[in-house]
Structure 1
């Protein structure tokens, strides 16, 4: 059985493709580097991360991109013996403008070296590529209307100015007329177009309703690629708005017919849990990837169980179950960074870390930077987990130098336990948080400094749904530090809320040196232990 989500912990906007009996899903990575995650499966039950293709400056440089900017909604396809990847690099989030640049790159192997990108246009985000059966290719995307009243925090319907398509080729670029395909349903906020063809119909799948709890997958069809397109008889294919399903925020997915004649559709989803003291639901694991089996009736797709709400469990392609969650412990012996880790924005990784004999972070800018910061982290994939690291070598000489363990969403939402230097105390531990304070990013210092002896210090974080705490030790028992912390801050709903936060929670190692001296911190291990 498949158990949703199939890709837990910040894996949104799933683009789904089959190549023979192999299945691939590409998901958005936003400001995290390298860009785009690609997963592989044979059974639709168990998925392995196999590539992050946007891994060099020629393909992606996000220095200066805002939180929740960067790589939005990749489209992965396969044609002409190659994989094709369309991706959007969003340079601005807030305000009327989006500044979203769309590119195409190709590769014969999904885990190979992808070609230098071809820039296609910048008229809107969520671009995709459709390979028609006559060999022609069409580039499809949302048009963003900056004249409307929408902003990044609460986009208005008229900023989403419809889905358009235009013929495209590698040699000739965009050619021919711009075709206005569809403006969506009355739910509005129509985005994330994917086009496919079956039985003489062109089918357009879109996401609507914004990426929060009103999200939906909608569908339209036409006999000609240029339209006119008629909407689905049920309006939406997938939508959990107003239900008590444990799966919420469903939208933005793609259809695939399997090698043995079955039919599935991916979607992004969230799993909300109660906040502190039962207040306000929140999704600490961000927007994840789910899948549901679909059926054809009267040349329309419907969810196999009926209705609009996908199941938590459903049949896969083989009689296998999901692999159990397992701890992951690394000593960073080198030469490569373990695949589950990423960093923020910069393609110039040598300026922020080295791997070998441990992980050495080079202290750069603050946790609030949009340019160059030394944060190496992995996704939170469970509602209950513990993570530990050993800070083996770090000698701060000023409070401007710090290194430690962080739970992080963005520059307005994080908790950290850091080793630093305090006047009159010397090397010590402190806990500092930013509690969703936008735009000021005010810091909250939690508890008193704890003096440290010389030598390594072990740091630990324990997260249990909405509760979090840090611990530390130097040769003895674990000691709590900083008191009880609100883990619900580290979520889509924390701070500005779901319509301005599109990523997910991370946990990892951090170093900064705002004095500009690039003081180094060496971490000798990192472990992640999943709970329930």
Structure 2
């Protein structure tokens, strides 16, 4: 259908959007958390059709997340363009559980979106969600949430939005630190961006937490340091009062103007499985059209404050995603859909040249390791989907296993793995971790299916909403199912034994583990991902 954008515009785990325009080109950055390389940047000419163009944090001098816990790593990047450069600020979160947060904020720059991107300049560690504002006088200002580790009655630990000048000549923050906005009664104030328009500084923040109370708050001031008055119809955007809306958890937004002068708001959201509050695709990115009123305040063009699934934009034809994506591993670079976990040294995890036409994974630490895990995967971006791969693997004992995995984090995964049993037979078994936090106990099939020695085996999985089923085939034999239907709902932000969940999304991919330390290789010939109609 023409003249309509269907949300989300970035399906699958793509949270915390930050957008900028350079000429007729739009660029959209999203968080990647513990997945490497860091930050996804997509490009579009029409706001409807987006293509991944780079992951700029791709070398050890920029980013090393080994040891970062689950749902840490790259939080909430902010992308802007000024002075002939792209500016990207971001947090590398090293710890977020408990009263303390250890998150370090950096800035990198590049003359072109494809790079080369600079080594990072350290900014501060006072809180997360940094944003860089380029003022009309040429000065640059960093704003970020200030974290307050103290637990006090009636107050949360989100200590307000602080501002400090950044000097690009000295490559450091200078001058006083000013707390410019304490937030509203929605609390949990984060994700801030500043804009200048018609004599006002406009401040956009996320509030309510990134769950089902999430919201976008707007405030304005005649002076940069405040005080800021809150939007008379706050919140600007939320799904908190509309539980039937297909776009839930709406919040954490950014603004962009089109060349024609129209204004759009991009924001994170999630699409829970029908009848649940489980989001295996994680937090995605959507877009809304907004309008500046005669009173100088911004409001949704469709009225109210709830997100629209369809947004009218004239002259746009949004292309549907391909039903099937097939990867043959014939080149010496990993296809762009795939990422790995934490380490800037992927040559320790995989090779595309040691056996041409195959992705060779070197078995490393255990499934769920925070340091060095040979797991290469892509996002689940459809409620109904399937994945297939072909594996050649000769384990030597029970400590070596490889196969097809649906992975959320160390406590939440389903893994169809080839290994050995106690008798030395090559077997195919299902290993699951069923969200038993903090114990992380495994569920392992007692009897594995025997596999012929030296045989190539095809592995497949099918996800239909909350149900995940594995299948396999030896050689050219037909597919056979293995094991019971498994709970795909636990592979979600909310499917957690913890009180506050996680922040990423489900990934489907290939894995090899060798906890003996011998690095036994596993070779994968092709990977296929299919989206099924909703």
Q: Give the TM-score band, short-chain normalised.
A: over 0.9
Structure 1 match to 2:157: 159
Distance in 1 between residues matched to 2:135 and 2:108, nearest whole Å: 18
Structure 2 match to 1:486: 487
Structure 1 match to 2:403: 404
Contact 1:435–1:495 under 8 Å retained in 2: no
Q: Tell me how far 1:301 sits from its aligned partner.
A: 0.3
Structure 2 match to 1:476: 477
Distance in 1 between residues matched to 2:457 and 2:29, nearest whole Å: 38
1:37-62 deviation line (CA, Å, top 9, x unaligned): 00000011110010100000011000
Does 1:295 find its partner at 2:296? Answer: no
Does 1:285 find its partner at 2:285? Answer: no
1:189-240 deviation line (CA, Å, top 9, x unaligned): 0000000100010011000000000000001000000111000011211011
Specify which of 113, 116, 120 is matched with residue 117 of structure 1. Answer: 120
Q: Tell me how far 1:429 sits from its aligned partner.
A: 0.3
Distance in 1 between residues matched to 2:402 and 2:152, nearest whole Å: 42
Does 1:180 find its partner at 2:183? Answer: no
Does 1:345 find its partner at 2:345? Answer: no
Gaps of 5+ in 1: 151-155
Contact 2:397–2:424 under 8 Å retained in 1: no
Specify which of 315, 327, 342 is matched with residue 312 of structure 2. Answer: 315
Q: Tell me how far 1:447 sits from its aligned partner.
A: 5.7
1:235-293 deviation line (CA, Å, top 9, x unaligned): 2110110212111100001011111111100110011123xxx5x42111100000000
Structure-1-length-normalised TM-score: 0.96
Structure 1 match to 2:378: 378
Structure 2 match to 1:57: 60
Gaps of 5+ in 2: none
Describe how 1:190-339 pairs up with structure 2 within 5 A: 190-243=189-242, 244-274=244-274, 280-297=276-293, 298-316=295-313, 318-339=315-336
Structure-2-length-normalised TM-score: 0.96
Contact 2:374–2:511 under 8 Å retained in 1: yes
Q: Tell me how far 1:161 sits from its aligned partner.
A: 0.3
Q: Tell me how far 1:425 sits from its aligned partner.
A: 4.8
Distance in 1 between residues matched to 2:246 and 2:160, nearest whole Å: 31
Q: Tell me how far 1:493 sits from its aligned partner.
A: 0.9
Q: In structure 2, the residue corresponding to 1:236 is in which secondary structure?
A: coil
Contact 2:495–2:501 under 8 Å retained in 1: no
Contact 1:32–1:343 under 8 Å retained in 2: yes
1:400-440 deviation line (CA, Å, top 9, x unaligned): 00000000100000000000011115111000100111111
Distance in 1 between residues matched to 2:364 and 2:54, nearest whole Å: 27
Change (3 A) 1:413 1:478: same
Aligned length: 522
Distance in 2 between residues matched to 1:3 and 1:498, nearest whole Å: 33
Distance in 1 between residues matched to 2:416 and 2:72, nearest whole Å: 27
More deviation in 167-176 or 300-309?
Answer: 167-176
Change (3 A) 1:115 1:222: same
Contact 2:20–2:81 under 8 Å retained in 1: yes
Q: Tell me how far 1:174 sits from its aligned partner.
A: 1.2
